[in-house]
Each structure stands twice: as C-alpha cells, then as structure tokens.
Amino acid sequence: MKQFPLILAIFVVLMFAAESKTGVVDSDRIFNQYQATAAANIELNDFIKTQRDSAATMRQGIENIKAELDDQKLMLSEKARLRKLDKIETQKISYNKFLAEFFGDGGKVEQKNDELMAPLLNKINEAISKIAQQEGFTVILDLSENVFYASSELDLTDLVIDELNLEYGPQTLPTGELKKYIVILPFREENTEAANADLGERCQDELYKVVSIFSKFKFISKIDVKSEIIKRHIGVNINDSQAHAIGVYFQCDYIIVGKVTKQAGKIDYTISIKDVEKNQEIDKKVTTVTDEIKLSEFLNNDLRALIEKVQ
C-alpha cells in the first residue's frame, strides 16, 4: 500500500530586496516539532485504524464463507455451491473496491491526510516568511531537498519552530531536567525482498513521523542522520558498532536500531533501544506483520513502548 507520510516540501522565495541573502530550514524537523502535528497525526491514525478495522471485518467475512463452503462441500448441491462461490466473489470485489477507495492513490486516507495537513503547511509557510523577513533573508531553501551543506548561521529552523509553537505557551521542563537525545537509524535489511522494498529506510521514516509526541526527548533530524551515514560511507545496512559510533558522534543518550525481513506478504522486524553511554540494549520488540498496511501502526506502538522504558 502506498504510504501517506506527513511530508513538507518548502522552497520559499521572497523577492523584496535587491541583493539575495539565502537561508535554510529543516522542514522535517519543523514538521516534527510543531506541536499541532501531533494532534493531526493522532486524528489521521484514528481514521486509518477505523478503516483498517472495517477492511479486516470484510476480509474475515470472506474467510467465514470459504470455511462454510469447505465444511459443507459434501452436503451442498451444485447449485448451492455455486451460490456460495458467487457470494465469495461478490464480497471479494466489494473488499478490493473498499481498499482502493480508502487506501489507493488519491483515496480517502490520502484525502484525509491532505485535509489535516493543508492548514498546518500554510501556517508553517507563513512562519517561515515572517522569520525570513525579520532576519533579512530573501531566499529560503529546505535542507530536506538536496541541500548538502549550509552554515548554522543560515539555519532558521529553531526560530520557525519557536514562532509556530508560541500559541501553545512556553515549553518548560522541571528544574534541573534536561531533554534526552535520541537518534533513529535505518533498519538493517536482512534479505533481498526487504532490500527491494526499501524497508530499512521505510521503517525509519515511519518512526520519525511520530517523534513529535515525545516532548521529553530531542530527536536528531533525519537529514542529519542521512548526511552522517553518507559521510561515513556506511550504506543502508548499519552494524552495531557503526550505530553506536553515530550515537556517540551526535552525543545522544539513546539510539533506536532495528532489522527487518520480508517474505511474500509477511514482514518480520526487531526494534531496539540502546543506551549509548553504556553501549547496551535496554529493551527490544520483535514483531510480525502479516498485513503490510498495518506496518506503520505496529512500528508506532513498539516505539511508544520502548520510549516508555527510558521516560
């Protein structure tokens, strides 16, 4: 199934000065740390869960008729058997139509995503424009869109995030409490089918979609992680020592790592949280997904469970 990530693509050009002064923003980090995103994600996930439950009910109905047919095949007349087969086929058509209507390209899940994201994207673009004007920038580029290097002096990301979150009031932590830093790495692809499906990066992407709900933690941006992996010439399949070295480089408290395999319609993955200073695993989840459209939901739940171990 096509995923519907909460993606922001920004390329704001402000032509109100004779000389061009270029700044940058990290749209992924803005989107993840904008507090309105968490509520939108929850609403979207609830909508998706409702539709998945409906699909599961329809699929179970088909399986029930198949089981009835199998149990009664010696007693049914040919006419009755054909009626059962026709009913199965009719329900299969309805089931496939439902999947296409909700989960296909341009389907209702994608429409719901667009409906929730449109006002947030407008607010983000307005905030970028405001900060750019205040700071005297005429061009703003997105670090998530093939900008390979930019000086930190040109980075307006934190200013934009602060501007967006003003409506939620000051975000303070108890005295003496500091946010913990976490980096999420691509999963190791343990077989060819997983590699062909790009499941390593897809799992990482799914996890980064929900990090904004963990207010006690700071997550190293995905673009920074990718840049460091490229710089180290590691490739997509990162081993334990390489993962630990990246955690140390970013001065993180914890790293999230995993491995994934795919065989036919089944996906098996292991996700772990590790203490960087002690270089040891704190906890892990081993999960089997037989319905690929539920991969995002399972990863989300497992990440929540792991984060709870270090709250």
Q: What is the pLDDT along the chain (311 residues), one digit of tens a residue?
A: 333 344 444 444 434 434 578 888 888 888 888 888 888 888 888 888 888 888 888 888 898 999 888 888 788 888 888 998 999 999 999 999 998 998 888 999 899 999 998 999 999 999 999 888 888 888 888 877 766 666 677 888 888 888 888 876 655 544 445 678 899 999 999 999 999 989 999 999 999 988 878 878 889 888 888 888 888 888 778 899 999 989 888 888 899 999 999 998 899 999 999 999 889 999 999 999 998 888 999 999 999 999 988 87
Give the pLDDT of residue 27. 84
- Distance (Å, whole) CA 61 – CA 48: 20
- Whether 187 contacts 269, CB under 8 Å: yes
- Whether 249 contacts 232, CB under 8 Å: no
Q: How far, in whole angstroms, is CA 53 from its chain's centroid?
A: 20
- Whether 87 contacts 65, CB under 8 Å: yes
- Whether 219 contacts 211, CB under 8 Å: yes
The percent helix, strand, coil of the chain (3-state, each to 5) is 55, 15, 30
Give the pLDDT of residue 177. 53
> Tell me: the pLDDT tens digits for 45-78?
888 888 888 888 888 889 899 988 888 878 888 8
**Is the pTM here over 0.85, yes or no?**
no
- Whether 35 contacts 168, CB under 8 Å: yes
Beta strands 266-275; 280-289: pairing state:
antiparallel
Give the pLDDT of residue 147. 65
What domains are defined for the chain?
1-171 (3.30.910.20), 173-311 (3.40.50.10070)
